[in-house]
Structure 1
Amino acid sequence: MPNLIAKLAAAALMGLALSAQAPAFAASSLSGAYLAAMQADFRDDYAVSAEYYDRALAEDPDNLALIQNALVARVALGDIPAARALADRLAVVQPENQVAALVRLAVALKSDDFATATTVLQASGEGINPLLAGLVSGWIEVGKDDFTAAQAKFDAMTGNEALAAYGQFHKALALAMAGDFVSAEAILAGGENGPLHLNRAALIAHAEVLAQIDREADAAALLNEALSTGMPDATLVALRDRLVAGEEVPFDEVTEARDGAAEAFLTLAEALNTEDTARVALIHARLAAYVSPGMVEADLLAADILESEGQFALATEALTEVPRDSPWFVVSEIHRANTQRIAGDAAGGIATLRALAASHTDQIEVQSALGDALRSDNQFAPAVAAYTAAIDLIDKPTAVHWVLYYTRGISNERAGNWNDAEADFREALVLRPDQPVVLNYLGYSLVEKGQDLDEALDMIQRAVKGQPDDGYITDSLGWVYYRLGRYQDAVAPMERAVELEPVDPVVNDHLGDVLWMVGRKREADFQWRRALSFGPGDGEDLDMDRVRKKLEVGLDQVLAEENG
């Protein structure tokens, strides 16, 4: 269904030009500001592009292309008040303009001006995505306190599977908001097709609805099932714990019509969050956060998009609005730390996570995130301590916890604690017996140490079966054959590994060794030279001096010298 939503969303965006229209200039002085704005636009530097578009508009205030480009930049910045003025100007001459319509619709919804929201929808024609238009039209009726009309709007969304499913989900939200929790639960339960858990919000809404009809145990079970399929989620854990403790859990997923409308904007943002439509997704995420300021999911998504665009300051800014007492605080701080690290401030990211770990000592995901950050910074011994703190919080390990043992195993191995590392890898395999990355890492490590080669071969064969298109796992298979002296068997997987990872220096070096051993020495020299051209690789994995020595005297002589 997500693909169907994305196609539905993209189909309605064909006429949406984002900073792509070149305006006709009335004077040469205008061109400098425009070109500067465009250059910033290409870099996704919305603050600079907005400034220069404003300068260009001061010279040519009626240029529609300039107005739209400035409008997009302002929405991307989250500056909706400034965007509103631009949208109003654009709508006068282009009432069907999609960006202007989205902004004006969001402004009307936020202020509960449902008459204007209706007018904007009608004037936009087919410019607004049908999923968004259908959902918002229903919430407009909710805002008018006409729940019967709202249900009819949601029920009318039957054009395809995605429209129907989201129409019913929002109908359930509206029913719950009106106090009809029994009917809302019947929709969310989903009947023969299973629960209507289209996204995380639907899961939370279902749990809260169950709590209103004295089914707290069922609500807790629902959340436990969701938590069992992934790493702990702070907000879901907090909700589950409140239910188990017998605390009163109100239905607050949607308390105003604008909250439901914001959820519709967020649905589109999530569906459009792809490389080709990331900026359109950012627009919808910013508008969702504007319509319902408490919707932290929208801020998190905006931060994710901005981070992918290299706009780290804006990404961090999008995460600063989350209060410390919010159940989303932990998630936002982990995200902020990751943004700091990606921006090149590894120390700052680790400091953020250390502070979070000190104040949230009982949360597995915090300790795990700290371990990940330390491991990425090659601080392996402290990473082991962080992962251990996370593991110590587990009452009884389940399949979902394999990754903690695996990442601690990597950290132990890199720190030189092989016995502890092997124990961690084997525990991960107890929890997830056929996990390819664990099988590969342990199998490859055993090969490198010359231990239990038959078992290592079996592990890596199982890993390749699980992920046949993974070049590094395929490389491991070829390498274990090599270490076992089965050189002819090694050729095919090593050649396949180079096909899958053509520029990896170690994989190319391995193929060179294999080719040498089967008598294809000229090809071996070629592969070693390729390895040197790509080396040394991440973490300086390739021993470039050793490769040069192989090119000089051959692999046989190198091995003879190494073996004494």
Structure 2
Amino acid sequence: MTDRAGRMISALTAMGLLFGSVALPSPGLADAGPYLAARQATMDRTFPELAVYATRALAGDPDNPVLLESVISSRISMGDFDAVKGYASLLKQIEPDNQIAAMAHLTLLARSGDYEGLVVALDEGESISAVVDGLMRAWAHVGLGNMSGALDLFDQGAGMGQGFENFGAYNKGLALALVGDYEGALATLSQPNMPQSRFSVIARMEILSQLERNEEALALLNDSFGEGPLDLELEHLREALAEGEAVPFDVVHSARDGIADVFFAVASALDGGLDDAYTLLYARIAEALRPEEASYVLSVATLLERLENYDLANQALDRIPADDPAFPVASLARAEALRSSGKTEASLEVLRQLAKSHPELDEAHTALGDALRRQEDYSDAVKAYSVVIDRHQPPTRGQWPLYFTRGTAYERMGEWDKAEADLRQALALEPDQPRVLNYLGYSYLEMKTNLDEAMEMIRKAVEARPEDGYITDSLAWGLYRLRRYDEAVEPMERAVELMPVDPIINDHLGDVYWAVGREREARFQWRRALSFEPEEDEANRIRKKLDIGLDRVLSEEGEEPTRGGNDG
């Protein structure tokens, strides 16, 4: 990490955007409400509320740099760059080297195409990070038509360090292609140490096509992404290359696009390594500079969803038009964001419309099936899964999850013959798959059939996933079903260790304790299970066990008691 990036994180930490610690109001201020509300919004990661309350707090403390940073950063996180200009200018006056102010001001200059102003601002010391500053300056010279100066600046990028050693060469290659020097661009992007990303491979394919070398471009596509089905963008590229079309170079269309790609590349490099709120700032800037680039929008939406700003995520995704190759991916992401925010019906409708508008898209039907299964609409879930299963015959190994999920839906519908056939097919495609072994084995245990095979399946699943509490529970419950109560104690206790707040597993441990005569511990586990809010029918049964004991409950249910006539 660069020193500048470290300082940026320190600034974000100070304002609470990363770790939830907005400065409390000073005793001299009359109204602490906006400060406290801003603090809560920061802790909740709700950027719109943070923007509102930090702005209100500024009315009473207009020169507070922490509040100014909060307003600017929250507005950037919302994608509202039109609202930050005045705040950035004021913050720059108070703290000339403030990174948040520079991030806002430099972005506004780049967005407006004021490359001369961008160079001046960088020369005067406005700075985000060494990597970003250097590449922005180089692209600004491209925008000014000064290619010789730009190429020199890109070459200086070889010394950037911090994992960004090849950024200069990569951006140089894009700039050369932008001005039509395809031979120079290809040579630059084909250097042995050049990291391979989706964008860099697409850039090389497009450059090869412009050089009338479509066969090489097609080979590069297949070598990089495989010869099987790909996403719509790559499928369109493959089709155009195969038909001999001259695919245009459009990885970047302008110097502004080049600057956007810098911010997107940094966001991609930071993703998962630093706080999502910090990464989001870079992703939002990339999106602001090139709002039509769907991959930038998807990156922003992913980060917003992880930060639980679902409405903002959906606002971003809604901008991807239906004719964009990324629309199906955006629709799937939109459905997930809606589901995560509790808008289940809206999520289902998005998936239904996607399956209708893109009937050839397997992912649409599979996602719809998963969503319907979560809603316990197993009949329609089966129909959705069957669309994909029926079109891919004979099945391949990679389709085992489809048979598994359809099998679980059939099992929930009470159609065991169909469920068993699907689960067996899943195992035939992916032998010894732990999830399938566990589900099929546990189902046999519950039906009290094929018990020896069931235990063999579950033991294999436990060997494959010894840290899985549900699978360990299945093993212990199988031993309980076989009335091998003493043997069931250790694995059931292990299952509770692995899944300590699961109501069913705690309930099972209570039953096992009861069966071996440890009644006080059994009642403790049943009460513990109730505290974890099981389904109502399960909760009623547990209460009944606490009232009259497990054996009497089993007798009333027509089952054999664990210990004869003991009534608890």
Mark yes or no: TM-score above 0.5. yes
Q: Which residue is equivalent to 2:286?
A: 288
**Of 539, 548, 557, which residue of structure 2 is paired with 1:544?**
539
Question: CA 1:416 to 1:268, structure 2 compared with 1: closer, same or farther past 3 Å?
Answer: farther
How far apart, in 2, do the equivalents of 1:85 and 1:515 lie?
68
Which range moves more in the overlay, 365-374 or 201-210? 201-210
How far apart, in 1, do the equivalents of 2:209 and 2:141 lie?
26
Q: Which residue is equivalent to 1:473?
A: 471
How far apart, in 2, do the equivalents of 1:466 and 1:281 lie?
36
Q: Is this contact kept in 1: 2:155–2:168, CA < 8 A?
A: no
What is the CA-CA distance between 1:498 and the residue it aligns to? 0.7
Q: Pairwise mapping of residues 87-166 of structure 1 onto structure 2 (< 5 A)?
A: 87-121=88-122, 128-133=128-133, 135-143=135-143, 144-146=146-148, 148-157=151-160, 159-160=161-162, 162-164=163-165, 166=167
Amino acid at match of 1:284: Y
How far apart, in 1, do the equivalents of 2:237 and 2:52 lie?
44
The higher radius of gyration belongs to 2
| Structure 2: runs of 5 or more not aligned | 561-568
What is the CA-CA distance between 1:122 and the residue it aligns to? 5.2
How far apart, in 2, do the equivalents of 1:439 and 1:66 lie?
56
Q: Is this contact kept in 2: 1:30–1:60, CA < 8 A?
A: no
Q: Is this contact kept in 2: 1:364–1:391, CA < 8 A?
A: no
Asked whether 1:196 is paired with 2:195, we answer yes
What is the CA-CA distance between 1:501 and the residue it aligns to? 0.8
**Of 9, 33, 44, which residue of structure 2 is paired with 1:13?**
9
Which range moves more in the overlay, 43-52 or 357-366? 43-52
Q: Pairwise mapping of residues 10-89 of structure 1 onto structure 2 (< 5 A)?
A: 13-16=9-12, 17-19=14-16, 20=21, 22=23, 28-29=29-30, 31-89=32-90
How far apart, in 1, do the equivalents of 2:533 and 2:495 lie?
17
What is the CA-CA distance between 1:333 and the residue it aligns to? 1.7
CA deviations on 1:187-212 (whole Å, 9 max, x unpaired) are 76675x8x8334x4345445444544
Q: Is this contact kept in 1: 2:440–2:454, CA < 8 A?
A: yes
Give % identity. 42
CA deviations on 1:140-194 (whole Å, 9 max, x unpaired) are 454442353254133223x24x323555544544454455556656676675x8x
Which range moves more in the overlay, 19-28 or 515-524? 19-28
Question: CA 1:227 to 1:531, structure 2 compared with 1: closer, same or farther past 3 Å?
Answer: farther
| Structure 1: runs of 5 or more not aligned | none
Amino acid at match of 1:376: R
Q: Secondary structure at the match of 2:366?
A: helix
How far apart, in 1, do the equivalents of 2:65 and 2:208 lie?
51
Q: Which residue is equivalent to 1:502?
A: 500
Cα RMSD for the two superposed structures? 3.4
Which range moves more in the overlay, 364-373 or 27-36? 27-36
How far apart, in 2, do the equivalents of 1:113 and 1:304 lie?
30
Question: CA 1:491 to 1:249, structure 2 compared with 1: closer, same or farther past 3 Å?
Answer: farther
Q: Which residue is equivalent to 1:454?
A: 452
Q: Which residue is equivalent to 1:253?
A: 251
Question: CA 1:530 to 1:60, structure 2 compared with 1: closer, same or farther past 3 Å?
Answer: closer
What is the CA-CA distance between 1:274 and the residue it aligns to? 5.2
What is the CA-CA distance between 1:382 and the residue it aligns to? 0.7
How far apart, in 1, do the equivalents of 2:421 and 2:177 lie?
50
How far apart, in 2, do the equivalents of 1:179 and 1:429 lie?
54
Q: Which residue is equivalent to 2:414?
A: 416
Higher RCO, Cα 8 Å, sep 6+:
1
Question: CA 1:395 to 1:533, structure 2 compared with 1: closer, same or farther past 3 Å?
Answer: same
CA deviations on 1:241-295 (whole Å, 9 max, x unpaired) are 4444555433322232322322232233345455972222222221110011122
Q: Which residue is equivalent to 1:463?
A: 461
Amino acid at match of 1:14: S
Question: CA 1:53 to 1:456, structure 2 compared with 1: closer, same or farther past 3 Å?
Answer: same
Question: CA 1:458 to 1:141, structure 2 compared with 1: closer, same or farther past 3 Å?
Answer: farther
Amino acid at match of 2:15: L
TM-score, L = length of structure 2: 0.85
CA deviations on 1:96-120 (whole Å, 9 max, x unpaired) are 2111111222222223333443444
Question: CA 1:386 to 1:190, structure 2 compared with 1: closer, same or farther past 3 Å?
Answer: farther
Amino acid at match of 1:71: I
What is the CA-CA distance between 1:353 and the residue it aligns to? 1.6
Q: Which residue is equivalent to 1:535?
A: 533
What is the CA-CA distance between 1:429 and the residue it aligns to? 2.9
Amino acid at match of 2:44: R
What is the CA-CA distance between 1:328 and the residue it aligns to? 1.3
Question: CA 1:557 to 1:317, structure 2 compared with 1: closer, same or farther past 3 Å?
Answer: same
Q: Pairwise mapping of residues 416-435 of structure 1 onto structure 2 (< 5 A)?
A: 416-435=414-433
What is the CA-CA distance between 1:23 and the residue it aligns to? 7.5
Q: Pairwise mapping of residues 52-451 of structure 1 onto structure 2 (< 5 A)?
A: 52-121=53-122, 128-133=128-133, 135-143=135-143, 144-146=146-148, 148-157=151-160, 159-160=161-162, 162-164=163-165, 166-179=167-180, 191=192, 196-198=195-197, 200-209=198-207, 211-212=209-210, 213-214=213-214, 215-222=216-223, 224-225=225-226, 233-244=231-242, 246-273=244-271, 277-394=275-392, 397-451=395-449
How far apart, in 2, do the equivalents of 1:123 and 1:314 lie?
35
